[in-house]
Structure 1
Amino acid sequence: MTKAIKKQALGRGLSALLKDPNNDIKSADDKNAEQVVGNIIELDLDFIEINPFQPRSNFNEEALNELASSIKELGVIQPITVRKLDFNKYQLISGERRMRASKIAGLTTIPAYVRLANDNESLVMALVENIQRHDLDPIEIALSYQRLIDEIQLTQEQMSERVGKKRSTITNYLRLLKLDPIIQTGIRDGFISMGHGRALISVENQDDQADIYQKIISRNLSVRETEQLVKEYQEKGQQTATGKAPKPSVTPHTDKVSDLAAKIAVKIDVKVGANGKGKLTIPFKSEADLARILELLQGS
């Protein structure tokens, strides 16, 4: 919460700087321009005009209303990008859906990245420096990588060289932006880790994503436990799609395993591969339960 308040205060402060007619920043060479480049600024929606060259003209009304509802609850997760044209006059570069939905939600301002004339290299330097900070959450890092792709047209290979990170690391961060906004917010606020988010990416259905997310929070699940839960959801989805349950592992010893499970009153999990190798798992609830099971096994 403190981090969010600080971000908003910073955005308002920079917005006030841009509104000062005695300090009208138009170029990356102007005084105080370094405070603007690469930072999030709260801009009045009335100061922003749509890019006339925006190729997209049709927006799904239902999807916009859903986004507006999300913005009412969570705010704008990913800032828009604008180009400064004149004093208190900006042109949208990217984020028209977010801007339209923000107006529907009743917002008067929106977080934005402001591009200035001849600020290309300055922006790259600001973003790379920003990524190297230790206090950024995974979503903030992912958004910085995405800006380098969208606005500077850097490839992931070029980014890898500029920021000193493996390409696979960059890819893992970028994939987080495919998560439901609620889950992205959970990562930003520290409710779940990047590892939890990576496990959830493989779940395509957003309702299932949200369901698993709630279980992670309520049960305080580890990343490994989350991965197992995701696996169970995927198997359940496969069963629904085919109308058949996954076939259980069958071996010549299946009956003996069933007898043993009945004897120790525990469900035993047996997995056998095509080569005959496999794994037998006997769960226990406590040390006392483990001692009970071992005693029964020794008496067999």
Structure 2
Amino acid sequence: MAKRNALGRGLGALIDDAEKMKQAGISEIELTKIEANPFQPRSKFDEESLEELAASIREIGLIQPITLRKNGSDSFQIIAGERRFRAAQKAGMETIPAYIRHAKDDGMLEMALVENIQREDLDAIEIALSYQRLMDELEFTQEDLSGRVGKKRSTIANYLRLLKLPAIIQKALREKEISMGHARALINIEDADVQEMIYQQIVKYGFSVRRVEEIVRSLDEEGLQQNQSRKKELPKEYRDYKGQLGKLLGSRIGISVNEKGKGKIVIPFKSGNDLERIVKIIENNK
């Protein structure tokens, strides 16, 4: 069975020992030896999304290994991970970490991954990766997984949602800078920039899970109130300022302006603790 790092993420940043990576069942394959799967149903990839992933790869390494099959003596074909492969090309990588699959090994793969999931020393991201790999390569549904690993479907869904977090937050979860509770609270924020900003505050100020949950609830409530009370759309420059302030303070800022250009900024807070958090951010950005 693969060692702990077999399903590791952020290999370039998290695993420095190439020999350990080899033992874990992950190989470094030259990009020039890899070709796309001609039966790939997805023919178009969003360029902006690819550029964002490429930027993440340049900063902290590739998060999730791709999966390949041998396609000759010295060439490989993609089974899963073409988007990651394309982003790695854009990032200027020469090699990419990959699982190498062989024909008719589905049963062995399932047994190995399910056994791996049952271990107690895996972190949340490793478990999520195991689930995702079973779904990608063996075409399992979440219901299938529930039966295979003896977990509730909702539990599996919560783990899989972790893989949608920005790479820097996934890395922090793996390195125990934040807890599973922190990560699950951050998942409920749609804006990745706001997720990263609150993550930085967790690390800097040592926010508890309950504190982060309060912040997230506050964001949700403020967003609903502002949507209900909005009477007219702000000029673009004011919307830009509003967005910048919101990301800085982790709060849905309110801005109103009259016909003469005069107005006010409203910074709502949920509690005394939340107000203290906002004040500290303002003081640190003087």
1:40 aligns with 2:50: no
Q: Which runs of 5+ in 1 are unaligned?
A: 15-34, 245-281, 285-300
- What does residue 227 of structure 2 align with? 241
Q: Does 1:76 align with 2:73?
A: no
Report the Cα distance in structure 2 between the residues aligned to 1:174 and 1:99, rounded to whole angstroms: 21
Q: 1 CA distance for matches of 2:87 and 2:122?
A: 27
1:255-296 Cα offsets, whole Å, 9 max, x none, are xxxxxxxxxxxxxxxxxxxxxxxxxxx979xxxxxxxxxxxx
State the match for 2:15 in structure 1: 5
Note the C-alpha offset of 1:6. 6.2
Q: Which residue of 1 aligns with 2:135?
A: 149
1:86 partner letter = G
**Residues 48 and 91, structure 1, Cα contact 8 Å, conserved in 2:** yes
Map of 2:167 onto structure 1: 181
Tell me by how many angstroms 1:44 deviates. 1.6
In 2, Cα distance between equivalents of 1:97 and 1:160: 27
CA contact (8 A) 2:28 2:96 kept: yes
C-alpha distance in 2 between matches for 1:208 and 1:133: 33
| Displacement of 1:7 | 6.7
Alpha-carbon spacing, 1:227–1:8, altered in 2? closer, same or farther (3 Å) = farther
Residues 143-170 of structure 1 show CA distances to partners (whole Å, capped at 9, x for unaligned) of: 1001111111223233223223222221
Structure 1 residues 7 and 125: alpha-carbon distance in aligned structure 2, compared to 1, 3 A threshold: farther
Counterpart of 2:15 in structure 1: which amino acid? I
Shift of 1:9: 3.2
Q: TM-score, normalised by structure 1?
A: 0.68
**For structure 2, which runs of at least 5 residues remain unmatched after alignment?**
6-13, 231-270, 274-286
Residues 50 and 91 in structure 1, CA contact (< 8 A), matched pair in contact too: yes
Counterpart check, 1:110 vs 2:96: yes
**Correspondence for 2:77 among 88, 91, 107:** 91
Matches within 5 A, 1:12-23: 13=22
Q: Separation in 2 of the partners of 1:102 and 1:185? A: 18
* Match in the other structure for 1:161: 147
TM-score by length of 2: 0.71
Correspondence for 1:226: 212
Partner in structure 2 of residue 134 of structure 1? 120
2:156 to 144, 163, 170: 170
Q: Partner of 1:53: helix, strand, or coil?
A: coil
Query: Tell me, what secondary structure is at the counterpart of 1:178?
Result: coil
Of 23, 37, 52, which aligns to 1:66? Answer: 52
Farther-moved stretch of structure 1 (181-190 vs 220-229): 181-190
Whether the 8 Å contact between 1:196 and 1:226 is mirrored in structure 2 is yes
Kept in 1, the 8 Å contact 2:80–2:137? The answer is: no
Instruction: Give aligned-pair identity as a percent.
Output: 55
Shift of 1:128: 0.8
The code of the aligned residue for 1:221 comes to F
d(CA) in 1 for partners of 2:27, 2:120: 21
Give, as a single letter, the amino acid of the residue that structure 2 aligns with 1:192: I
Alpha-carbon distance in 1 for matches of 2:148, 2:58: 37
Instruction: Answer whether contact 2:79 2:137 (CA < 8 A) is retained.
Output: no
For 1:202, the aligned partner's letter is N
- List structure 1 segments (4+ residues) > 6 angstroms apart after TM superposition: none
Q: Counterpart of 2:125 in structure 1: which amino acid? A: I
Counterpart residue type for residue 86 of structure 2? R
* RMSD of Structure 2 on Structure 1 (CA): 2.5
Following superposition, the deviation at residue 201 of structure 1 comes to 1.2
How many residue pairs align between the two structures? Answer: 223
Cα displacement (A) at 1:75: 0.9
Q: Which residue number corresponds to residue 200 of structure 1?
A: 186
**Deviates further, 104-113 or 53-62:** 53-62
